[in-house]
Amino acid sequence: MSTTEQTEAPTALAPAHVAPPVSSPRTWIRDAAMATPPGAAEARRSTATVRTVDVIRMLGSAAAAVGLTAWLYFFALPLQGQLGFVLISYLIFLILFAILTSFDENRITVKDRLIAVFIQSLAFILLLALFSVVIYTFGRGLAPLGNLNFFIEDMSNAGPLEPLTQGGVLHAVVGTLIMITIALAISIPLGLLTAVFLSEFPGRYASFVRTIVEAMTALPSIVAGLFIYATLIVFLGFNRSGFAASLAITVMMLPIIIRSADVVLRLVPGNLKEASRALGASTWRTVWNVTLPTARSGLTTAIILGTARGIGETSPVLLTAGATTFLNLNPFNGPMTSLPLTTFTFVKSPELTMVARGFGTAAVLMVLVLILFALARAIGGRGAGQLSVRQQRARTRQSRDDDYRYRRRELGLDRNGGGASRGSLRARLGIGHPLPPRESPATPTRKDTKS
């Protein structure tokens, strides 16, 4: 057999079924005409999640939905009710937005845009409800808030028929601050220690404690108030006081702080703890120097959640501290009131001035809570490794000083009469602008070390 026959033999034995050539590649290939020229700058692509065309579609769909719903309500169908008008308008809005988006996008993009609009609508509804409550409360309580006596006087010399120029809520503000301070002083150490025990020492007993804590998170506030009233006041014979109310508030705050802090502490990376153990640190040293600083921001959030639960309680304070119109600075003797309880006392009165005082007290409570949360976030809000503005400036200044020092060493200024100033050094190096900040001080090389 010749060489030509040997070469053609495999071709003859090849199967007759041959796959047709691919008409177009599955992967999109950039056309040469669309490619960026070698020397030209590439066009900047927008990474914004909200595009202008989407905003135009939303506004147009919303206007069309309101108009179509109004036509259905007033001309086409015998429909009534404000809630129904809003729901039908929203449903028509979603349909119109999906139709407009489908003109330029594929089905997957239409679904994505529709779900994004739905989620953003829910967020807008929640914010609208929040602002409605705040604006309504401040609007109804604007009359007493405009009087200085409302903040510096108590209600000992003012009755239900007195004008708003007499009486105030100083006794309620002081009582709230005293109660929540005692409750935080008790609940923060106990809550954080319990959370550390649950996260660092797992076992059967820890599982049992975690189950009890989870069950107590749904404990009604009236039950906590009755527990402190039965044990401290009835059984032990103490009088009603702000301290008893603080204990009832502590019972409400502890489960929230423990549960939230436990979740945060379990999110600390295990390699950080292992590195501390490898260096010879004990368990408590690791917890104090590694775990707690790393989870500081989350622990602050846990304390804020517990404070939000305790500062708005009314029934435990009513059962354990009573109600009073006098200013009481002693939490261990005599009745003491709080802002929520004072708000309840004011708004149940039939007098319009007392109702206005109630809304003003609620507004003061919201401002007080906002101030406490801001202070808590400022104290422990930064996470691990996050520096303040002052610390960032100090680190930048230290990095620049180290850079200048290393450059002086490279030029031999330290050995040859190294009294040159920083300005002369910058002039010799040809530096006309400040050095860029560095994340960490530069480390000297082996050559610098020898010199």
Q: What is the pLDDT, as a whole number, of residue 80?
A: 84
| Residue at 342 is within a domain | yes
127 and 195 belong to one structural domain: no
109 and 66 belong to one structural domain: yes
- Closest listed residue to residue 174, CA positions, set 156, 157, 151: 151
In angstroms, the CA 44 to CA 336 distance is 64
| Residue at 302 is within a domain | yes
Residues of the chain with pLDDT under 50: 1-16, 25-30, 32-33, 417-418, 430-451
| Residue at 237 is within a domain | yes
Q: How does DSSP classify residue 166?
A: S
254 and 296 belong to one structural domain: yes
Task: Kindly state the helix (H) or strand (E) to which residue 251 belongs, with its residue range.
Answer: helix 242-265
125 and 68 belong to one structural domain: yes
* 3-class secondary-structure state, position 370: helix
205 and 248 belong to one structural domain: yes
Q: What is the pLDDT, as a whole number, of residue 47?
A: 59
**Angle at which helices 339-347 and 170-200 cross, to 10°:** 130
CATH of the domain at 283: 1.10.3720.10
- Cβ neighbors of 89 (< 8 A, separation 6 or more) are 65, 66, 69
Q: How many domains does the chain have?
A: 3
End-to-end CA distance of the chain: give it in Å, rounded: 81
* 3-class secondary-structure state, position 198: helix
Task: Give 273-286 pLDDT, tens digit per residue.
Answer: 888 888 888 888 88
Q: What is the pLDDT, as a whole number, of residue 447?
A: 44
Token representation of residue 398:
């230290």
Write the Ramachandran bin of 322: left for phi over 0, alpha for psi from -120 to 50, otherwise beta: left
209 and 309 belong to one structural domain: yes
| Residue at 324 is within a domain | yes
Q: What is the pLDDT, as a whole number, of residue 176?
A: 92
| Residue at 162 is within a domain | no
| Residue at 203 is within a domain | yes
Instruction: Give me Rg for the CA atoms of the chain.
Output: 35
282 and 201 belong to one structural domain: yes
Token representation of residue 144:
């007493």
The domain of 79 spans: 52-140
- Cβ neighbors of 148 (< 8 A, separation 6 or more) are none
In angstroms, the CA 147 to CA 167 distance is 10
285 and 372 belong to one structural domain: yes
| Residue at 14 is within a domain | no
Q: What is the pLDDT, as a whole number, of residue 259?
A: 92
Q: What is the pLDDT, as a whole number, of residue 424?
A: 54
83 and 178 belong to one structural domain: no
CA 279 to mean position of chain CA atoms: 35
If one counts every other C-beta atom within 10 angstroms of the C-beta of residue 380, the result is 16
91 and 238 belong to one structural domain: no
* pTM strictly above 0.85: no
- Within 103-239, residue ranges assigned H as helices are 107-140, 142-145, 149-152, 170-200, 204-216, 221-228
Q: What is the pLDDT, as a whole number, of residue 18?
A: 52
